Amino acid sequence: SQTIHQWPATLVQPVGSPLSLECTVEGTSNPNLYWYRQAAGRGLQLLFYSVGIGQISSEVPQNLSASRPQDRQFILSSKKLLLSDSGFYLCAFSTSGMNTGELFFGEGSRLTVL
């Protein structure tokens, strides 16, 4: 069956420190991968999506970056965190063969920047 794993679940980081959130998918090949951010009490903001290895589309200019080093691995990074980077980060995938775009989400990573 298809599963998605995201870690770490919780992270507290000082301003200016680096960030790395990782997401892996199992049970499917060539998934479309997504990073969303959810601020407290807010909706989901699309950050990045990828339709293949090395192919990253950025939706919001910011100090975050994403990489897809392997087919089923998606990484969200920052070299220097800002206070405004705090939030709940969600990784998701869709099956490339399905044209409906239904997303399967990980359990999220809660980032607090102090």
CB 57 within 8 A of CB 48: yes
Cβ closer to other proteins: 70 or 96? 96
Q: Out of 21, 90, 111, 113, point to the residue binding other proteins (CB under 8 A).
A: 90
Of 70-89, binders to other proteins (CB under 8 A) are 88
Q: Cα(23)–Cα(35) distance, rounded to whole angstroms?
A: 9
Q: What is the DSSP string of 87-110?
A: EEEEEEEE-TT-TT---EE---EE
Q: Out of 11, 19, 76, 92, point to the residue binding other proteins (CB under 8 A).
A: 92
Does 26 bind other proteins (CB under 8 A)? Our answer is no
Q: How many C-alpha atoms does 41 have within 13 Å on its Cβ side?
A: 0
Q: Cα(63)–Cα(31) distance, rounded to whole angstroms?
A: 25
Q: Out of 19, 21, 23, 49, point to the residue binding other proteins (CB under 8 A).
A: 49
Note the residues at the interface with other proteins (CB under 8 A). Answer: 6, 32, 34, 36, 42-44, 46, 49, 51, 57, 59, 88, 90, 92, 94, 96, 98-108, 110
